[in-house]
Structure formats: C-alpha cells, structure tokens
C-alpha cells in the first residue's frame, strides 16, 4: 500500500458531511452545487498549503547544497594556493622516502540514523503525529521468560530477521547433533567403468 505523503482533503467533493441533504433545503441541486464549490475551495486551499510545504523543502535542500558547494569552493581555493606556493626545485625528495610513505587514504564518513523525527519532512511528521500511540506493552515485561522488553515485538523491525536467524542456528545445531551421534559407514561401490 503506497504511503500518501500529502493527501488533499476533502477527497469526496460532492458528498455532504452526513450523506443526507437537510429537509429545510428547497433546491437540492443548488445545495449540492454550493457544497461542491465549497469543497473545491477547500481542496485548493489544501493544495496551496502542500505547494508551500514543497517549496519550503526545496528551499531547504537548495540551501544545504549551496552551503556544501561553498565549503568545496573554500577547499579548492586553499588547495590552489598551496599548489601555487609549492616549488618543486626547492624540495628534495629521496626515492627511499617515497616507498616509506603511506598512501593517501581519505576519510569515509558514514551517515547514520538518516530517517529520524528531526529529519522527517513536515508532511510525514504531520501524518506520524496522527498515528495511534504505541501501546503500553511494558506492563507485560514481567511475564516474559526471556527477559526481552515486550515493546520489541511491536516496534522492532529486525525482530523477524532475528527470529529467522535463530531458527536457522537451531536447525544447524540439531543437524550437527544428529551427525555427531551417527558413525559414518563407508560402503565400497563397484566402478562400472572397469566392467567394460
């Protein structure tokens, strides 16, 4: 099921709130036309709100790209200055020194926890705030034999992978126990190629 990042409301523009037209209305068609136009205006308002949100996100991304580009330009300028100041005639490099130097290794920065509440887009944060709260499963912790918190059964995304790995390890240990108990008996099989 796809996740709607920005649902436009109301989705049913011709439907009334309770599904019935009030008895006091004399002209039903005019009532439906007016309510449809009002819902269209609400949809346009919702659309303009999401457009503003999208442009805000674009602005924030463009600002971060601009800042990173400025940092790169500063690094390039510093490198350009150091290259221009370098005089190869003044520096004597021995051949033995070249082999003793360690090769250049750049730092590899790993991004972690990219999807957090602070980095979540506003539209997803709004949808996240409308979700049901996490149940109070900590109350069942005292009844568990394995000592793990009960909330991991509800919110741990690695639970099923860990369960699968545990079952594989259990199968491997059981099969190794079976093979340890049995003696391997070798049977000589006559070779058919020698019979020809």
| Main-chain dihedrals φ then ψ at residue 16, nearest 5 degrees | -80, 170
Supply the mean pLDDT for the chain.
81
Q: Over range 179-189, report the average pLDDT.
A: 58
Q: What is the DSSP string of 98-144?
A: HHHSPPP----PPP---SSTTTS-HHHHHHHHHSPPPP-GGGGGGG-
Please determine, for residue 20, whether its predicted confidence score (pLDDT) is greater than 60: yes
The answer to whether 155 and 134 are in contact (CB under 8 A) is: yes
Please report which helix (H) or strand (E) contains residue 42, including its range: helix 28-85
Which of 37-51, 54-68, 163-177 is predicted least confidently? 163-177
- pLDDT the model gives residue 195: 44
pLDDT at 196: 43
Predicted pLDDT of residue 18: 74
Residue 7: is its pLDDT beyond 80? yes
State residue 71's pLDDT score. Answer: 96
Q: What is the pLDDT of residue 58?
A: 94
Q: How far apart are alpha carbons 131 and 125 in whole angstroms?
A: 10
For residue 59, pLDDT over 90 is answered with yes
pLDDT tier at 95 (50, 70, 90 boundaries)? confident
Domain boundaries, the chain: 1-88, 136-179
pLDDT at 46: 92
Mean pLDDT to the nearest integer, 3-7:
79
CA gap 31, 10 in Å, rounded: 17
Residue range 103-145, pLDDT digits in tens = 777 787 766 667 777 878 888 888 888 888 888 888 988 888 8
Could you identify the residue written with the tokens 């449809």? 36
Whole-Å CA distances, 29 to 9, 17, 22, 86, 179: 23, 16, 12, 84, 82
- 53, 122 Cβ separation under 8 angstroms: yes
3-class DSSP state for residue 50?
helix
Residues 174-182 have a mean pLDDT of 75
Mean pLDDT of 69-75: 96
Q: Which of 94-98, 175-179, 190-194 has the lowest mean pLDDT?
A: 190-194
Q: Greatest CA span in the chain, whole angstroms?
A: 105
pLDDT of residue 40: 94
Burial of 54 (0-12, 13-18, 19+ CB in 10 A): middle
The pLDDT of residue 14 is 83
């Amino acid at each position: 099921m796809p996740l709607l990042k920005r649902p436009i409301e109301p989705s049913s523009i011709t439907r009334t709130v309770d599904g019935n037209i009030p008895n006091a209305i004399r002209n039903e068609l005019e009532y439906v036309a007016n309510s449809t136009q009002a819902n269209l205006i609400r949809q346009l308002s919702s659309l303009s709100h999401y457009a503003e949100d999208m442009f805000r996100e674009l602005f924030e991304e463009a600002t971060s790209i601009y800042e990173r580009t400025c940092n790169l330009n500063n690094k390039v300028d510093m490198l350009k200055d150091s290259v221009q100041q370098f005089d190869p005639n003044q520096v004597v490099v021995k051949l033995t020194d070249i082999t003793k130097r360690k090769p250049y290794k750049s730092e590899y920065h790993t991004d972690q926890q990219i999807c957090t509440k602070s980095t979540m887009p506003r539209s997803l944060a709004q949808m996240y705030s409308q979700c049901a709260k996490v149940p109070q499963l900590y109350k069942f912790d005292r009844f568990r034999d394995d000592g793990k918190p009960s909330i991991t059964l509800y919110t741990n995304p690695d639970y099923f992978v860990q369960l699968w790995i545990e079952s594989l390890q259990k199968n491997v240990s059981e099969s190794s126990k079976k093979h340890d108990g049995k003696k391997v008996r070798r049977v000589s099989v006559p070779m058919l190629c020698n019979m020809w």
